[in-house]
Chains A and B, each alone.
Chain A
């Protein structure tokens, strides 16, 4: 139901925007005739600026937290300076910033792409990652201390808030899908769940970084899952990959590559789903907010105000959906990771082709 609603909303937004696209195009011609009175507002640029990584953390227009830029080049070694050096002009100390990438400046100040610049900067996403690590450590050390203090007694405070979630991951995610050896993988699954959850929620805050909507971050998470699945795979798992039963020998040259591709596609789907869901949510909210500015550009201030109440309602609704998605995506990533681990370590070899699905009642 939510999905069809989602589709309807998305469709209506898309239609709404596409009508404006035509109007803007016409407006452009007029604009040139009148001489450019005001600066053109570009929705796409605004959205990309918000969902992409950046040197320096911009909370609001004019309120930017400068972050360290750390560069390494072969000839000049390690260099560290503040990202605020790039705030007013794009060149500093022989470096040029262009489209969020830092290059060595050429003779005329243009980027010289032949010099390899290794950029280890603490960017907005890295800062957000460190912040989330601090939050997670503080929260879970407090939970740990709670168990020490309230030993044998009812949980208190943060501990009582998180205990049901931890037990949910253990009892409904890890146990049914991994089986009797679930305890080994529980630390990983819990870390995964709370890391994704906290970063999804941080990304929803105004001015927050879009960490889980960065494909490199989701790729790292998926690669960790991939390594754990394949390093703990037992002989049934590998036999299934390279010696599938009931397959004619003539078909093996095709089947083995297909199976291997399938192994890589599982973490790939984990990576793309988290990235796509979070990024899509951000884009929808940002394009809704962009409608106010488009209306303002088209029909003047009155139209901007007229549209804004509708936009506020829609974006409020989208924010609620995003809140749901934040939990859902953390849960699904954890659930699928545990299913993949479970299918790699299950003892009995059933002809279920390694899907490893067993009803929770099986255990």
Chain B
């Protein structure tokens, strides 16, 4: 009997690659949410700490840094999207 590795069959290989590609994309999507969450959280935390440290009456740093962090998280999110 011919000893054949199914991975050498181009059709099977293509299907397998497609599956791997989909899985990789899924894995990347699943980490993007946590990355956004972490980025925004870091920005807000940094802003609150800076305001505390400077004793600001109006939480300017919190406002500015949380908005910057939202922008940064969107930027990192778009950049982190898997390539088609």
Chain A residues packing against B (C-beta within 8 Å):
172, 176-177, 254, 258, 261-262, 264-266, 268-270, 272-273, 332, 335-336, 339, 352-355, 357, 359-361
Contacts and interface: CB of A to CB of B under 8 A. Distances in A.
A335 B38 contact: no
B31 A355 contact: no
B59 interface: no
Interface residues of B, number: 27
Given A265-B39, A355-B82, A273 B31 contact: yes
A332 B27 contact: yes
Contacts of B24: 176-177, 335, 339, 357
Contacts of B33: 269
Contacts of B23: 335
Contacts of A353: 79
A273 B37 CA distance: 11
A254 B43 CA distance: 13
A266 B28 CA distance: 10
B79 A261 contact: no
A270 B38 CA distance: 11
A261 B39 contact: yes
Contact of A272 (B34, B39, B75): B34
B63 interface: no
B53 to A, nearest CB: 18
B4 interface: no
A262 B75 CA distance: 10
A263 to B, nearest CB: 10
A339 B39 contact: no
Contacts of A176: 20, 24
Contacts of B76: 258, 261-262, 265
B49 interface: no
B42 interface: yes
A266 B76 CA distance: 10
Output the residue of A262, A265, A353 with the most chain B CB within 10 A.
A265
Given A258-B72, A261-B39, A357-B82, A266 B20 contact: no
Contacts of B42: 261, 265
10 contacts: A176-B24, A258-B75, A262-B80, A266-B35, A273-B30, A273-B31, A336-B31, A354-B79, A360-B17, A360-B20
Contacts of A335: 23-24, 27
A268 B82 contact: no
A277 B81 CA distance: 22
Interface in B6-47: 16-17, 20-21, 23-24, 27-28, 30-35, 37-39, 42
B66 to A, nearest CB: 13
B16 to A, nearest CB: 8
